[in-house]
Structure 1
């Protein structure tokens, strides 16, 4: 990564903050050391911060522009898709267009214009983007995307799907496995009813089923697992996703595991996870007749900028 990338992000955040009046800016900012920085949720409900609905149209434009700087092209497209799908969900539930429907909260922690670590995030129903900046380096996890409905059942967007690759790539990997490999990968006939790490600040691998290791897979299966992992890494800017991939390879992809619980039939609840030395991916689709997806990427070393901050404080204290 170059200092230019952080500079672009920093300027985008400063433009957003500069567009806010005193009251809005107070809602949109907090100290970097605030415990709220690592408190998050993917459920409906209010969050600390400034919601889109409380912004002017120009402020909304500047806020949403942050997504491209922290999530890359594909990740930003998916994040915007979550926000749009929430509008669709509300129309399906209420039958009307809700004027206060954009309940996604933006918050900046610390001083983007200074030299100390800082962060920004977007939180709301089925969306959690967390970006931590330390010098010229960033961390982008926890990263959560959800889809309700995963496929729109009616209305103008009927048939529209979100998080298609996360589902189809997982299914393709399971289908590619030989029978004896499937028996190892499928750890339960009952699907986990949610991601197992929930919204915990620290991802606990003890909750995760082991399943089938990468080392035990055939070459085609290994290729499918690699594609699945890289699909989640695409939620970050391209250069960052490449760094995460190199880190995963250096740590030993043979140690990665793939586990599935529940049915492999469409319309029935299912869950999968991929765990490696440096990362954890979780996906579930169990609610609403398996039309309600949760998916999360956790960096086991660098959630919330863990490793970056440790090095920073070691160098400066």
Structure 2
């Protein structure tokens, strides 16, 4: 019993240290900004802008990379790096740089403003030094990462969206680059290994939806998960599914990922389902969803002849830190 309590205490201390480090990184970023830039980047915690997220090219609030100097950009990226695993940070950074590739493939000029890696916006919600709820977001075309924190104790990172157009770069200096390769290859491997009966249950539609179904909804909600249940997979297939889920969960820091893994396990892997729609080969429109009581993963590749990927991870309890905040407020009013 003492050993269990010690492990719990150590986990809490590690989580607190991580939240404090993220808070410090946010403070350092804000300190690099003058009054005008800080007014662009910082919103109150209660501001509805916190929930105004999307992953398409559009007008955005916040401070874009192109309006930052080198010191400010370095501080902004340091905050991002603090809240992601190395793999997650690498993917996010590569998505930003992919705007150069898309600009060239679409034949736009070097000064084009539509496909612009400088149009990724950083926003901070609340005061990361106040000991109260705060959060931050980085967002642009094909990237939306939303983080929420509370009193140096917890940090949540959902919704998380990562996309890639092109999914596989067809030409130029970056030819063959596939930023979200694991998300695609591992899912096809799982599908291909299913027997006829399993595939009959897993494939829920012959045509893939035009995009991820949850979109940019304020709350992710879908009906009871369709598809093939975890219990109907062989042990080897169950491991394949877990490896695929890990591609999404392990984009976060280890401490954040450990919390998500525990929530999935506590809710029961037997309640997780894998569903597929559309084509069974690359180059045809396809979609999959992995859904459990605590999370939804969606992957859609239907645009540009099946070479344009959208992926999302939604924490059904803790989008925008809601469960974290509810627990805090409930405890405060007991």
> Same fold per TM (> 0.5)?
yes
Deviation >4 Å, runs of 4+: none
Structure 2 counterpart of 1:233, from 233, 249, 264: 249
1:97-119 Cα distance to aligned partner (Å, 9 max, x none):
33752110100000001111000
Shift of 1:209: 5.4
Structure 1 counterpart of 2:163, from 128, 146, 157: 146
Please, what TM-score do these two structures have when normalized by structure 1?
0.97
**CA separation in 2, counterparts of 1:267 and 1:288?**
9
Matched ranges for 1:114-193 at <5 A: 114-135=130-151, 136-193=153-210
Residues 225, 291 of structure 2: 8 Å contact kept? no
Structure 1 counterpart of 2:78, from 43, 49, 65: 65
Structure 2 counterpart of 1:5, from 1, 18, 25: 18
Residues 90, 98 of structure 1: 8 Å contact kept? no
1:31-80 Cα distance to aligned partner (Å, 9 max, x none):
00011101100111121101111111211111111111112211111110
Q: How many residues align?
A: 316
Provide the secondary structure at the position in 1 that maps to 2:57. Answer: coil
Residues 15, 255 of structure 2: 8 Å contact kept? no
**CA separation in 1, counterparts of 2:107 and 2:83?**
33
Please, what TM-score do these two structures have when normalized by structure 2?
0.92
Provide the secondary structure at the position in 2 that maps to 1:91. Answer: helix
Residues 149, 155 of structure 2: 8 Å contact kept? yes
Change (3 A) 1:284 1:29: same
Residues 148, 157 of structure 2: 8 Å contact kept? yes
Q: Which moved more, 1:284-293 or 1:54-63?
A: 54-63
**CA separation in 2, counterparts of 1:310 and 1:3?**
18
Matched ranges for 1:243-258 at <5 A: 243-258=259-274
Matched ranges for 1:1-317 at <5 A: 1-98=14-111, 101=116, 102-135=118-151, 136-206=153-223, 210-317=226-333
**CA separation in 2, counterparts of 1:54 and 1:41?**
21
**CA separation in 2, counterparts of 1:174 and 1:279?**
20
Residues 22, 79 of structure 2: 8 Å contact kept? yes
**CA separation in 2, counterparts of 1:28 and 1:157?**
32
Residues 91, 98 of structure 1: 8 Å contact kept? no
Q: Which runs of 5+ in 1 are unaligned?
A: none
**CA separation in 2, counterparts of 1:115 and 1:315?**
16
Shift of 1:163: 0.4
**CA separation in 2, counterparts of 1:306 and 1:42?**
21
Residues 118, 132 of structure 1: 8 Å contact kept? yes
Provide the secondary structure at the position in 2 that maps to 1:298. Answer: strand
1:94-144 Cα distance to aligned partner (Å, 9 max, x none):
344337521101000000011110000001100000010012101000010
Q: Which moved more, 1:68-77 or 1:107-116?
A: 68-77
Shift of 1:221: 1.1
Provide the secondary structure at the position in 2 that maps to 1:138. Answer: strand
Q: Which runs of 5+ in 2 are unaligned?
A: 1-13
Q: CA RMSD in A?
A: 1.3
Provide the secondary structure at the position in 1 that maps to 2:174. Answer: coil
